[in-house]
Structure 1
């Protein structure tokens, strides 16, 4: 792939507006970057008398010229003749070229505003359609205004009629009691679900208030009982993988519930579009001058229906990021509607996802207008940060040709994290992405992430990282998506070779699949989710580090075995680029790998997953001598990646027979894995968030940082314990694992010159 050429093309065609750039045939100058050499509007009109065989000559502005013109446009969209003359001299352009650039830019902005207004009108039309559908349903099933029963012609007994009237009167009285309780107790009670006062976990709580739903029309009504979320509500995770649990309508107010879900989806979509607008007053530059942070005063001023008081102990996290992807918007939308494919698209980030219910399948056989309820567990590769579990409503809408918007919003709040629940208490405010196709087959993406979470469960060392939005925010979503799209593009563009020693495409695919399963196993051992059951061992004081020790049963042959997982995270006063370069350097492996016994390491197979150095899957051979002087070989499968949000290195010993089978294209699901590895994350300070292209100097010297940046290093080890008495492990075994991890960290520090 010609990455530099592709990214240059993306940069020249990129438009940061919500609806993006217009079609090429609507403009003779593309996004202000193409102009005719020395041509003007009058010249072009006069040119009608000239022979048509003469080709038009285009002039392509440089990125620097475009940037200067854009900066000036923000200050003055209508420059006078003197200003245009100064710009032409400064940028080396003709005055006519500057004039035409500003004309085209103003035309673009006007058309974008018109499209935005049309988009709002379409959304209002969708609301009216939904209300019309509800009215039709109500007309098809009329209800008596006196008793609330069905208005069906026919004879009913006087006694039944009196009972219905009394029932209606009691409902009105209950409604008045609920209004009084709302005034004096400060919380609403459901007038349609009195059982919710006695059953704590009944009903569905929208993540917009305590128990109420506030829609875009400023109505406030609590949701009646009827949604049986079953598994996963209020901190009780459903079995995994398990079958899909439908949201059954238990009450007689199904139409009202569906209407409220639609209102929630429309309100969330409105807010996401507002927060994604470029140059919006809702976003301001952070202290580092690069990242955008939410302007909470402006957010409060717009009167968002989601701006309710935070639960006690919760803090707000908001971020916005843009990027370009090697995928079409329709393909990505399709992926986001299938839980398994969505998880695969965000490896190392989504621990588990499933669809709980489908409210609407969309219109005309497409995903346009689809609404579904999903649950996901989002992880950060560290044992000191709990997994975030969301149950949310996902609404997808196509606003124009090639322009899609996908929004998520929580519909329940996990409040039991402090009472033994392993998940982080969190609430997802309207978040999601805006996708816009580009002429070159790629798409622009704007991602907004807005959440509230319980900060008390996050370790002190990780709070700056989580608060900055790098851990779970928009920047990480886009960085992960860009890395995965690049990896898939490289895999699909692989050209078959006649070299008999080269790995086949089928073998490459099987090896990559095995490497991803290895990384998933590794992550499950350092940040456990409901996808893999671990028993946490409480062993008391484990030394200077906050060590997490877990175990799970593993059947291997006739006897019962236990897989032991141990992990910890420490702060390192060096950049994560230096740590990553040191750990992936094959020549330096003997400095920290206890199993290599200071032997030599050789890379036998290398499968690239990206353009960045270190984004690859490798098969390593470690040669060392045993006590008798005999040469012994050990084979490792290693998966490593790095981007602007973090780095990871995972490896596992694998038998030669298994590797030969996998590289031949065989099934990799039966290969036994015991992964160990490292994750390297920024520490949340601005000078450590970006990873550069530095590496060792070729002599094995990894010292000498030019700044005071630091990183957070997590180490995880899994091992199989056999022949245990009564299936239990001793404290000596745990101490051995603790010593192994502590020794590995110390060896890394010594090699990097850290005291």
Structure 2
């Protein structure tokens, strides 16, 4: 890792220069480095550091404002060296875990991927004993997959917090690059070091989210091979952070194996504080494991590949999206729709919880001013219910265009025809829908879209992306023991029988005009709730479920 120590005179001169020239180009940077007797790398680092201090985000805000100018040179350098040492140690452990096979890793119970053998891991890395508390659970997983994207491009995207959320919308609701400690080489990002905050979710909003505060460190470890290591940190510039989850040295290695494909090996290793979950049958330690990250990565990589393919195989429909421009636009609409829906579903900002028909409903009203959302007052209602049918049956009902009139009030009982990725419900409206299923759950997200906007997407003539307001469903399976008998350790007894059921979370959003009375008007909430229960009742009826 490079040294960032500056003399007092160098620091004053450089700070003064950066204030006068905040957008320093490469030529100016080299010239200033020569004048101050510095390396260009040091100029790059302090330029980014200066930018982060001027526009701090998330947790660093108060800390930088209060302490930024008071940390002397030695303390600043020692702090940087300490974080660099932690990052290097995490990278070394990650590479060891990637390369070592044999007794260190055992097959997972699902038969997919591997898990660490705790006894052997502790012998290799005895420092873990200091962290293993009685109220924590250790989770580990290792998996690899081949994805269709160039390794260098993937590295660049995964070092970007915004792209990180775009890649993993059903896992990551929030990702913030708190501060850039080192941007790394401009050629290959070797040496890039960041402090990152993120909030993770399983498919069901009923499960507790995980918050992580960690270092992200990138190295190019060989030709066409990159590694990105993650490791949690307890403090930042003297302020301590406490979360329920701690990421032990984890990360992934990206290896370019052909011109078009690369192999990604992913390791997740965390300590999680045990929490009592009143609905623990939805809790699954694999919800944040390596395989789930790679499933999401593979799906998004295929999307990017589709955008770049000039001559895609065309479906039978003559109205198929037949150029890369509309495909790109459709994917942008779809990604934004899914990401926006997940953020609403995982939000804890619902000010009002009501109970109706034995179900708790979270409901809120908010003014929409975001550029990618329709303008007006948005009423949102969310409820989770348990259904005594399999997740497959629920997903089949919600994704079959022929059955859509059975539950979707927007269909008004009309026949629905599937056109590309759209469902047409009447002459002036279409439904833009995306669905996805994996071993951890499924989602169905949809939004009404005018025929004019649908034609704009399909023609690819206009570069603007239509604004949509998504609603939809999150689907997770659960197993309930039929027999009451349990083992002495609290686990289901071996002779218990199980019924497979579904947790269905419904989120419905409704747009009101800004001039339709006040934003906190109760009738708006009541309308959203009535629509949600109407949809739920129709779904139960279609699945022959009695209340």
Q: Which TM-score band applies after superposition, normalised by the shorter structure?
A: 0.7 to 0.9
Q: For the residues of structure 2 that align with 1:543 and 1:292, how far apart are their CA atoms? A: 44
Q: Which of the residues 175, 178, 192 maps onto 1:356?
A: 178
Matched, 1:600 2:420: no
Q: For the residues of structure 1 that align with 2:411 and 2:243, how far apart are their CA atoms? A: 38
User: Which residue matches 1:551?
Assistant: 365
Q: Is the 8 A contact 2:170 2:342 kept in 1?
A: yes
User: Which residue matches 2:101?
Assistant: 279
Alignment of 1:514-525 (within 5 A): 514-525=333-344
User: Which residue matches 2:486?
Assistant: none
Residue-by-residue CA offset, 1:528-561 (whole Å, 9 max, x unaligned): 28xxxxx5222443443343222211369xxx94
User: Which residue matches 1:336?
Assistant: 158
Q: Is the 8 A contact 2:166 2:335 kept in 1?
A: no
Matched, 1:648 2:443: yes
Residue-by-residue CA offset, 1:178-203 (whole Å, 9 max, x unaligned): xxxxxxxxxxxxxxxxxxxxxxxxxx
DSSP-derived class of the 1:747 partner: helix
Q: For the residues of structure 1 that align with 2:67 and 2:218, how far apart are their CA atoms? A: 20
User: Which residue matches 2:121?
Assistant: 299
Matched, 1:388 2:183: no
Matched, 1:664 2:459: yes
Closer, same or farther: CA 669–711 of 1 in aligned 2, 3 Å:
farther
Matched, 1:373 2:175: no
Matched, 1:727 2:519: yes
Q: Is the 8 A contact 1:271 1:304 kept in 2?
A: no
Q: Which of the residues 412, 417, 422 maps onto 1:619?
A: 422
Closer, same or farther: CA 326–299 of 1 in aligned 2, 3 Å:
same
DSSP-derived class of the 1:590 partner: helix
Q: Which of the residues 281, 290, 307 maps onto 1:491?
A: 307
Alignment of 1:79-158 (within 5 A): none
Closer, same or farther: CA 258–409 of 1 in aligned 2, 3 Å:
same
Closer, same or farther: CA 548–459 of 1 in aligned 2, 3 Å:
farther
Deviation at 1:576, TM superposition (A): 2.5
User: Which residue matches 2:167?
Assistant: 345
Residue-by-residue CA offset, 1:465-499 (whole Å, 9 max, x unaligned): 2x2x2x22211110001111112222322428999
Deviation at 1:667, TM superposition (A): 5.2
TM value normalised by structure 2: 0.75
Q: For the residues of structure 1 that align with 2:259 and 2:507, how far apart are their CA atoms? A: 42
DSSP-derived class of the 1:232 partner: coil
Q: Which of the residues 747, 750, 754 maps onto 2:538?
A: 747
DSSP-derived class of the 1:719 partner: strand
Higher relative contact order, structure no. (Cα contacts within 8 Å, ≥ 6 residues apart): 2
Comparing 640-649 with 427-436, greater Cα deviation is found at 640-649
Q: For the residues of structure 1 that align with 2:381 and 2:292, how far apart are their CA atoms? A: 26
User: Which residue matches 1:528?
Assistant: 347
User: Which residue matches 1:96?
Assistant: none
Q: For the residues of structure 1 that align with 2:363 and 2:155, how far apart are their CA atoms? A: 39
Q: Is the 8 A contact 1:286 1:293 kept in 2?
A: yes
Q: Is the 8 A contact 2:332 2:465 kept in 1?
A: no
Q: For the residues of structure 1 that align with 2:157 and 2:438, how far apart are their CA atoms? A: 22
Q: For the residues of structure 2 that align with 1:455 and 1:736, how far apart are their CA atoms? A: 39
DSSP-derived class of the 1:368 partner: coil
Q: For the residues of structure 2 that align with 1:572 and 1:452, how far apart are their CA atoms? A: 32
Deviation at 1:333, TM superposition (A): 1.3
Gaps of 5+ in 2: 9-51, 481-497
DSSP-derived class of the 1:479 partner: helix
User: Which residue matches 2:378?
Assistant: 563
Aligned pair count? 471
Q: For the residues of structure 2 that align with 1:747 and 1:413, how far apart are their CA atoms? A: 51
Q: Is the 8 A contact 1:386 1:457 kept in 2?
A: no
Residue-by-residue CA offset, 1:676-715 (whole Å, 9 max, x unaligned): 1112234489xxxxxxxxxxxxxxxxxxxxx954443221
Closer, same or farther: CA 402–481 of 1 in aligned 2, 3 Å:
same
Closer, same or farther: CA 619–528 of 1 in aligned 2, 3 Å:
same
User: Which residue matches 2:32?
Assistant: none
User: Which residue matches 1:233?
Assistant: 59
Closer, same or farther: CA 245–596 of 1 in aligned 2, 3 Å:
farther
Comparing 266-275 with 542-551, greater Cα deviation is found at 542-551
Closer, same or farther: CA 729–342 of 1 in aligned 2, 3 Å:
same
Deviation at 1:245, TM superposition (A): 9.9
Matched, 1:675 2:470: yes
Closer, same or farther: CA 644–400 of 1 in aligned 2, 3 Å:
same
Q: Is the 8 A contact 1:571 1:710 kept in 2?
A: yes
Closer, same or farther: CA 273–555 of 1 in aligned 2, 3 Å:
closer
TM value normalised by structure 1: 0.56
Q: Is the 8 A contact 1:542 1:738 kept in 2?
A: no
User: Which residue matches 2:22?
Assistant: none
Q: Is the 8 A contact 1:382 1:714 kept in 2?
A: yes
Comparing 336-345 with 481-490, greater Cα deviation is found at 336-345
Closer, same or farther: CA 233–282 of 1 in aligned 2, 3 Å:
farther
Q: For the residues of structure 1 that align with 2:526 and 2:310, how far apart are their CA atoms? A: 47
Q: Is the 8 A contact 1:391 1:410 kept in 2?
A: yes
Closer, same or farther: CA 578–620 of 1 in aligned 2, 3 Å:
same
Matched, 1:588 2:407: no
Q: Is the 8 A contact 2:213 2:232 kept in 1?
A: yes
User: Which residue matches 1:508?
Assistant: 327
DSSP-derived class of the 1:528 partner: coil
DSSP-derived class of the 2:127 partner: coil
Closer, same or farther: CA 382–364 of 1 in aligned 2, 3 Å:
closer
DSSP-derived class of the 2:366 partner: strand
Q: Is the 8 A contact 2:353 2:360 kept in 1?
A: no
Deviation at 1:622, TM superposition (A): 1.4
Q: Is the 8 A contact 1:383 1:568 kept in 2?
A: no
Gaps of 5+ in 1: 1-125, 142-226, 239-243, 415-420, 530-534, 607-617, 624-631, 686-706
Q: Is the 8 A contact 1:383 1:548 kept in 2?
A: no
Q: Is the 8 A contact 2:376 2:512 kept in 1?
A: yes
Q: CA RMSD in A?
A: 3.8
User: Which residue matches 2:141?
Assistant: 319
Closer, same or farther: CA 251–445 of 1 in aligned 2, 3 Å:
same
Matched, 1:638 2:436: no
Alignment of 1:420-435 (within 5 A): 425-435=244-254
DSSP-derived class of the 2:170 partner: coil
Closer, same or farther: CA 562–462 of 1 in aligned 2, 3 Å:
farther
